[in-house]
Structure formats: structure tokens, C-alpha cells
């Protein structure tokens, strides 16, 4: 049964771990979920991702950054997400439109109403059925994220190089978005033990699946 689920949160909030755990649990139940992410969920997106997450803050103007995320999303929705939903798959997407509102809107200061409008155009109106916000303090998330980057020898650190206040604005932005759309969003504590957190998430997914039947 088609269901579009997104996971949102600051760096190091545990989205990727929870996405994997959800996918494994759904596979055990016989589903074949599509696991994807933004930026980078389409072929074009893989190239855009390199530009977007490598390098240093200030390399891209706010507007150039925004339009690259939107291009990534437009291609991803059209070529990957919509076809998967049309063939009745559950789609698990690590970041989506709310990340643009939190990062480019609340943190970079671009106009929120305009961003909502552009998001609608990029997604052809597609919205998630369910979104999880993995909330955690910016200090905690950043620490975890730096540890992961070091361990994986990753150069995907353009946002990790932003200062703490930037990440605090992103966190506050996500909280405001989630509170303003509390039908779609479930806010969870990203500092909880990953297995406990997973139990909360999978229960929510089951609930949505049973109400869709
Ligand atoms: P990731 O490391 O979670 O894959 O995300 C890459 C970075 O891109 C992350 O720091 C958040 C940022 N981002 C935006 O600024 N705007 C967006 O619309 C998206 C999808 C991600």
C-alpha cells in the first residue's frame, strides 16, 4: 500500500539509523519499501549532492543553494518517488520539503511563503502522509555528526561547518513546522535509545497503514 513517509531533523539527530530500522522492519513484514533521501535520491541528485554537501559555508549563494535543492527535489519526485507510490510502495525519505523550510527559510532567512510556493512547484503538489521530526539539541546532534564524518572519512561537512547558532535556528524551525502541522508530524526525542525510538516509529507507521486500508 502506497504511503509516503519522511524523516526530518538536524545533523546527527538519528534520521538515517531510524530510516534503516524502519526499512528492515517493513521488509520483515513482507513489504518492499523504497528507501531514498534528499539531496541525492535521483541520478541527477547524486551529482547535485556533491555540490550541496561538500565544500565550505559561503561557497554557494543562498539563492543558488535553494535552487539546487529544488532541482534535486523536482527530479527526485518525478523520476523516483511518484513512480514508487504509483506502484503501491511505501516510500521512506530521509529529508524532504521541511528541510528547505528549516534550513533555507528559518536558518538562512529566505521568505517562508515563497519557499512553500516553490516547494509545491518542485513536488507537483506531493506531500508526505507522515513525517517524523527527530528532535535533539544542536550541540548533541553536531557532536554525533562530527564523530560520524571522522569515522567515515567523509567530506560531506559543508553544513557541519556552520556555527552552533545556525543549527539552533534549524532546530527551532523544525519544531515550529512540526507544531503547526501536528496531523502530519510526529515529534520524537532523538536522544532516546535507537531501538526504543524505532518501536515508537514503527507503531506510528502501522497506525497510518491500518487507517489507509
Ligand atoms: P544529509 O547530510 O542529512 O543527507 O543532508 C545534507 C544537508 O543538506 C543537510 O545538512 C541539510 C541540507 N539540506 C538543506 O539545507 N535543504 C534541503 O532542502 C535539504 C533536503 C537538505
pLDDT tens profile 17-42: 999 999 999 999 999 999 999 999 99
Pocket lining: 69 vs ligand 1, CB cutoff 6 Å: yes
pLDDT tens-digit readout, 153-196: 888 888 888 899 999 999 999 999 999 999 999 999 999 999 99
pLDDT tens-digit readout, 54-73: 988 889 999 999 999 999 99
Pocket lining: 36 vs ligand 1, CB cutoff 6 Å: no
pLDDT tens-digit readout, 69-97: 999 999 999 999 999 999 999 999 999 99
pLDDT at site 114: 98
Q: Confidence class of residue 117 from pLDDT cuts 50, 70 and 90?
A: very high
Report helix angle 43-53 to 62-76, nearest 10: 160
The Cα 95–Cα 7 span in angstroms is 6
CA-to-CA dists, residue 108 to 58, 75, 115, 138, angstroms: 11, 24, 12, 16
Pocket lining: 108 vs ligand 1, CB cutoff 6 Å: no
The correct answer on CATH 3.40.50.300 for the domain covering 3-212 is: yes
Sequence ranges of the domains in the chain: 3-212
Whole-number Å distance, alpha carbon 32 to ligand 1 midpoint, is 25
Which are the contacts of 32, defined by CB distance < 8 A and separation ≥ 6?
89
The Cα 92–Cα 33 span in angstroms is 7
Pocket lining: 162 vs ligand 1, CB cutoff 6 Å: no
Whether the per-residue pLDDT at 213 is higher than 80: the answer is: no
Q: Confidence class of residue 212 from pLDDT cuts 50, 70 and 90?
A: confident
Whole-number Å distance, alpha carbon 169 to ligand 1 midpoint, is 14
Pocket lining: 38 vs ligand 1, CB cutoff 6 Å: yes
The residue nearest atom 15 of ligand 1, judged by CA position, is 103
Please return the burial class of 10, using the count of CB atoms within 10 Å of its CB with bins 0-12, 13-18 and 19+.
Answer: buried
The Cα 179–Cα 169 span in angstroms is 15
Question: ∠ CA(17), CA(35), CA(179), 5° rounding?
Answer: 65
- Grid cell 527535489 is found at 73
Percent of the chain with pLDDT over 90: 87
Q: Which atom of ligand 1 is nearest to the CA of 15?
A: 3
Mean pLDDT of the chain: 96
Report helix angle 15-28 to 194-212, nearest 10: 50
The residue nearest atom 21 of ligand 1, judged by CA position, is 99
Amino acid at each position: 500500500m502506497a504511503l509516503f513517509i519522511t524523516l526530518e531533523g538536524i545533523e546527527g539527530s538519528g534520521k538515517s539509523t531510524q530510516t534503516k530500522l524502519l526499512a528492515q522492519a517493513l521488509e520483515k513484514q513482507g513489504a518492499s519499501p523504497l528507501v531514498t533521501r534528499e539531496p541525492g535520491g535521483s541520478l541527477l541528485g547524486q551529482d547535485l549532492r556533491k555540490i550541496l554537501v561538500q565544500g565550505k559555508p559561503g561557497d554557494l549563494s543562498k539563492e543558488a543553494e535553494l535552487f539546487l535543492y529544488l532541482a534535486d527535489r523536482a527530479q527526485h519526485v518525478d523520476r523516483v518517488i511518484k513512480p514508487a507510490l504509483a506502484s503501491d510502495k511505501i516510500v521512506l525519505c530521509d529529508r524532504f520539503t521541511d528541510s528547505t523550510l528549516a534550513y533555507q527559510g528559518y536558518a538562512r532567512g529566505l521568505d517562508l511563503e515563497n519557499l512553500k510556493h516553490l516547494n509545491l512547484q518542485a513536488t507537483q503538489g506531493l506531500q508526505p502522509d507522515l513525517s517524523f521530526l527527530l528532535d535533539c539539541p544542536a550541540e548533541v546532534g553536531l557532536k554525533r555528526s562530527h564523530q560520524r564524518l571522522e569515522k567515515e572519512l567523509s567530506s560531506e561537512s559543508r553544513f557541519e561547518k556552520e556555527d552552533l547558532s545556525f543549527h539552533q535556528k534549524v532546530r527551532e524551525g523544525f519544531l515550529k513546522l512540526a507544531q503547526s502541522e501536528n496531523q502530519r508530524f510526529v515529534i520524537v526525542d532523538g536522544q532516546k535509545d535507537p531501538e526504543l525510538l524505532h518501536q515508537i516509529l514503527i507503531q506510528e507507521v502501522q497506525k497510518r497503514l491500518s487507517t489507509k486500508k
